[in-house]
Amino acid sequence: MKWTVGLLNLFRLERDGEVVHRFYGRKHDLLIAYLALRRHQDVGREVVASVLWPEMSRERGRSRLSETLFHLKAELAGLGAAEELVHANRYNLELDRAVGTDVEVFEGLAARALAEPNPGFQVGLFEEAISLYGAGLLPALAEPWLQGDKDRLAAVHEEVLQALGRARERAGALEPARVLAVDMVGAGGRSAFATGGADVGAGLWTARGAADADVAPGPWSPPGTAGAEPGRSFEPPAPEWPAVEPGGAARAPAREGRARGPSLAGLRRRLARRYLALAEEAGPRLWGPEREAWLDRLEAAHGTISAVLEWAIEDKEDEVAVRIAGALWPFWHARRHADEGRRFLERALLMRPGGRSAADARALNGAGALALAAGEMDLARQKLEAAEALWRRIGDHGELARTLNNLAILDHKAGDYAAARRRYDDSLVLVRDAGREDMLARVLEDSAIMETAAGELERAEALLAERLDLGRRLGDPGLVARTLVELATVEQHRERWEPALGYAEEALAHFEAVPDLGGLAMCLRSLGYTFYRQGDLETAAVAYEQSMACSRATGNLRETGESLRYLASMHEHRGDDEEALRLYRQALVLLEDAADTAYAARAARAIAEVEARLRAGGGEPSGTPRPAPGDPATGTPGPHRDPPPRPR
């Protein structure tokens, strides 16, 4: 029987490759993590006690360690570990040497790959190591003693990423910048590209002085044409740009006695075609199982994409600007570039008053969605209704359904459930008729969230059951996991805690297959609320703290603020009003920064109630437990999720 402690992504215990237990970060969980990271070492009891209980005296720490070790061994025995997985004597502790860890596997893969002389084999090993690393070492835990190990493994991961690019190049995979260089070489001529790696903003886009006549302007070509290989998967560059002199002026691409190279205007046109292809290839994938990988690719190319858009708007290439901006608004929204994205969308749309193309409709939907996310309801409705009218004129029912879905979210935020239901129902009819399973999954989720908030739990459950079947049929673990979390929410509204816990723990198992920290944060918050209502406050606090760590890792202010609000409510329930007030105030700052008025209002109400109680002297001794929260009329949280979903 082979036991493995999983420390990358989710914290888990595996037996013969099957997950048999998930750790939440309680003290006996942290003990096994500490020992697993110090494999083949005898670790002194006093050292462990000082790490896990730094605030306690040596004697008290050793006593707590003995208690924790007893609970850990009992838990492992209950999982069928007949043999001793943790060895202890009077002085030292050690994880059994037959127990493996995925950290060791990752480091071994990285070392093998770096030493492998065959670049083809190297690529496979690097990709396997990157997949195993996922979201990194225990991303939901923020213990100070973990930071050194996190930094060490993150450095290995970064080295692997950089080496993978070099291995792919050696193996014959062309980088986009090299493809562009090949395009730029004339018959018998010489490439204008050097290897200096000059910054795009300093050289290619701002430099002037080359004659435009070198390369005929020509029409803008759709993705897969005009030099872009059809079907080729585009990867953002670590490009080699034209050589740049100090001060930012581009070095002349031709010298006396040599054929003149291409002009900067020509280079800009060709490179812009590449990024237009990238944007339109990425657009639909930003909603599917490849979402995180594509967001990372776009983030790597973010600076160059912005430069392409600036040039297109400056030179009145309105079709290029509106097509790129309309395709990439989900990226701007997901990666906290929303303000920049809104500016690009508005500038592109202003260049095309009365635009009637699908690109215009897509850009209007994006502008409306980002306005909706920012809480600007009137502007959002104006843009989305304009997009709706245009999609109806064009006859694209799949994209019409997307815009109707966003309008339904807007109605939900406004509290008009009847209008939201009508739009969701219309959207469901359209996506089913169009066979758009990708859109069907999103509309089912958003409609179910609205029905849950409206108290129509049977309808919500039916919608989610259809979505769960769809996710399983498509083999999409992320879709399945998020649906299970929403089903847990329905059970929380019914105050059926065991089914809610079962759904959330099943979701946690699926999140092991996808590096989705945002979904994991939502799942952990759901678990925390269920533990909380079952009276297991210690485990609830751990789940909330892990949820907060995951949200912070993604940079999601709203989700981090919500996790703080739930943690604050637990302290309030315990009677610790001072700590609750501190956490509620932190949550309010984050929620206001995220422009989420609904969540922020709840945090503000909770602050007002706690402050009033403190001014009145509390009315009861400090630390006196209070009834568990959940009253929708108060600012304290109820079931883990009831506000509207994000725009699509």
Nearest Cα to Cα of residue 30 among 5, 4, 2, 58: 5
For the cut 60, the answer to whether the pLDDT of residue 622 exceeds it is no
The CATH code for residues 507-648 is 1.25.40.10
**3-state class of 53 per DSSP?**
coil
Tokens linked to 338 = 């929303």
Would you place residue 238 in the very low, low, confident or very high pLDDT band (cuts 50, 70, 90)? very low
Contact status, residue 578 vs residue 548, Cβ threshold 8 Å: no
At 168 the pLDDT is 74
Q: Which residue has the higher pLDDT, 425 or 142?
A: 425
How far separated are the first and last CA of the chain, in Å rounded?
A: 47
Residue 251 gets the label, from left (phi > 0), alpha (psi -120 to 50) or beta, of beta
- d(CA 87, CA 93) in angstroms, rounded, equals 6
Q: Which residue has the higher pLDDT, 171 or 184?
A: 171
Distances (CA, A) of 133 to 138, 149, 162: 10, 13, 15
Contact status, residue 295 vs residue 518, Cβ threshold 8 Å: no
Distances (CA, A) of 224 to 268, 278, 348, 478: 17, 10, 23, 30
**Reduced 3-state DSSP string for 207-257:** CCCCCHHHCCCCCCCCCCCCCCCCCCCCCCCCCCCECECCCCCECCCCCCC
Contact status, residue 130 vs residue 293, Cβ threshold 8 Å: no
For the cut 50, the answer to whether the pLDDT of residue 178 exceeds it is no
Task: Write the single-letter amino acid at 54.
Answer: P
Tokens linked to 95 = 């994880």
At 645 the pLDDT is 53
- d(CA 520, CA 503) in angstroms, rounded, equals 13
What are the tens digits of pLDDT across the range 302-313? 888 888 898 888
Contacts of 601 (CB under 8 A, 6+ apart): 635
Q: Which residue has the higher pLDDT, 197 or 564?
A: 564
What are the tens digits of pLDDT across the range 458-499? 999 999 999 999 999 988 888 899 999 999 999 999 999 999
For the cut 60, the answer to whether the pLDDT of residue 208 exceeds it is no
Nearest Cα to Cα of residue 572 among 646, 499, 636, 645: 636
Average pLDDT value over all residues in the chain: 78
Q: State the average pLDDT over residues 423-436.
A: 91
Q: State the average pLDDT over residues 415-433.
A: 93
Give percent above pLDDT 90 in the chain. 27
At 315 the pLDDT is 81
Task: Write the single-letter amino acid at 93.
Answer: L
Tokens linked to 615 = 């001014």
- d(CA 46, CA 390) in angstroms, rounded, equals 70
Would you place residue 530 in the very low, low, confident or very high pLDDT band (cuts 50, 70, 90)? very high
Would you place residue 83 in the very low, low, confident or very high pLDDT band (cuts 50, 70, 90)? low
Window from 98-107, 237-246, 260-269, 378-387 with minimum mean pLDDT: 237-246
Q: Do domains 354-475 and 507-648 have the same CATH topology?
A: yes
Q: Which residue has the higher pLDDT, 65 or 448?
A: 448
Q: Which residue has the higher pLDDT, 154 or 514?
A: 154
Q: State the average pLDDT over residues 437-456.
A: 91
Give percent above pLDDT 70 in the chain. 79
Distances (CA, A) of 131 to 105, 126, 515, 521, 618: 12, 9, 9, 20, 52
Q: State the average pLDDT over residues 108-123.
A: 86
Contact status, residue 157 vs residue 134, Cβ threshold 8 Å: no
- Burial code of 397-427, b = ≥16 C-beta within 10 A, e = fewer? bbbbbbbbbbbbbbbbbeeebeebbebbebb
- Burial code of 344-364, b = ≥16 C-beta within 10 A, e = fewer? bbebbbeebeebeeebbbbbb
Nearest Cα to Cα of residue 52 among 341, 60, 588: 60
Window from 116-130, 133-147, 172-186 with minimum mean pLDDT: 172-186
Beta strands 100-101 and 3-6 are parallel
- d(CA 482, CA 446) in angstroms, rounded, equals 12
Which residue in the block uniquely carries the two structure tokens 């402050």?
A: 611
Would you place residue 101 in the very low, low, confident or very high pLDDT band (cuts 50, 70, 90)? very high
Would you place residue 82 in the very low, low, confident or very high pLDDT band (cuts 50, 70, 90)? low
Task: Write the single-letter amino acid at 168.
Answer: R
For the cut 70, the answer to whether the pLDDT of residue 639 exceeds it is no
For the cut 90, the answer to whether the pLDDT of residue 326 exceeds it is yes
For the cut 50, the answer to whether the pLDDT of residue 213 exceeds it is no
Query: Does 1.25.40.10 match the CATH number of domain 354-475?
Result: yes
Nearest Cα to Cα of residue 172 among 122, 114, 120, 124: 120
Q: Which residue has the higher pLDDT, 441 or 515?
A: 441
The length of the chain is: 648
What are the tens digits of pLDDT across the range 191-201? 333 333 333 33
At 375 the pLDDT is 81
Contact status, residue 639 vs residue 522, Cβ threshold 8 Å: no
The CATH number, out of the four listed (3.40.50.300, 1.20.1340.10, 1.25.40.10, 1.10.10.10), of the domain defined by the range 3-102: 1.10.10.10
Nearest Cα to Cα of residue 602 among 574, 640, 571, 575: 640
For the cut 80, the answer to whether the pLDDT of residue 594 exceeds it is no
- d(CA 116, CA 119) in angstroms, rounded, equals 7
What are the tens digits of pLDDT across the range 498-508? 999 999 999 98
Q: Which residue has the higher pLDDT, 544 or 268?
A: 544
- Burial code of 161-199, b = ≥16 C-beta within 10 A, e = fewer? eebbeebbeeeeeebbbbbbbebbeeeeeebbbeeeebb
At 307 the pLDDT is 85
- d(CA 576, CA 338) in angstroms, rounded, equals 38
At 197 the pLDDT is 32
Element containing residue 171 per DSSP (H, E): none
At 382 the pLDDT is 94
At 633 the pLDDT is 33
Q: State the average pLDDT over residues 592-598.
A: 73
- d(CA 481, CA 524) in angstroms, rounded, equals 12
SS3 content of the chain, % helix, strand, coil (to 5): 65, 5, 35
Nearest Cα to Cα of residue 478 among 468, 488, 492: 468
Torsion of CA 328, 330, 333, 337, to 10 degrees: -20
Nearest Cα to Cα of residue 403 among 387, 419, 416, 417: 387
For the cut 70, the answer to whether the pLDDT of residue 384 exceeds it is yes
Q: State the average pLDDT over residues 254-269.
A: 54
At 638 the pLDDT is 53
Q: Which residue has the higher pLDDT, 518 or 484?
A: 484
Parse the chain into domains and list their residue ranges.
3-102, 103-170, 190-243+262-333, 354-475, 507-648
What are the tens digits of pLDDT across the range 129-164? 888 887 788 877 778 888 899 889 989 988 988 888
**3-state class of 76 per DSSP?**
helix
At 158 the pLDDT is 87
For the cut 80, the answer to whether the pLDDT of residue 42 exceeds it is no
Would you place residue 648 in the very low, low, confident or very high pLDDT band (cuts 50, 70, 90)? low
